[in-house]
Amino acid sequence: MHVGCCSVKFFLHGNNSLKGKRRIIRTLKDRLKNKFNISVAEIGDQDVWQSLHMGIVAVNSDPTYLEGQMSKLVDAIENMHLAEITDCQVQLTRMGPEQP
């Protein structure tokens, strides 16, 4: 089993309330979940209006597919133009017993 983790930090231009931030989070989560088979959560900066930190996770048996999915996912976020990505880190991890 391979796990792909993606940590994405955003700057929200022109946002001046937590309500506006929550709208952006909901939009990002809904669009990503509809397009990809992933889990998404806000993992940091919960009380900062113009900053957003999201964690995205996917599981697959094929690491090559998972790497491509993470790349497409980041491209999809950029193409939404909802917020500026300030940092993005992707990590693939192998879990479970070694395959023969």
DSSP 6-62: EEEEEE-TT--SHHHHHHHHHHHHHHHHHHSS-EEEEEE-TT-TTEEEEEEEEEES-
- 17-55 pLDDT, tens digit per residue, is 889 999 999 999 999 999 998 999 999 888 888 999 999
**pTM metric for this prediction:** 0.86
Strands 39-44 and 51-60: antiparallel
Q: What is the pLDDT of residue 96?
A: 80
CA–CA separation, 25 and 53 (whole Å): 10
Mean pLDDT of the chain: 91
b/e map of 18-30 (b: 16 or more CB within 10 Å)? Answer: eeebeebbeebbe
Domains and CATH numbers, the chain: 2-94 (3.30.70.1120)
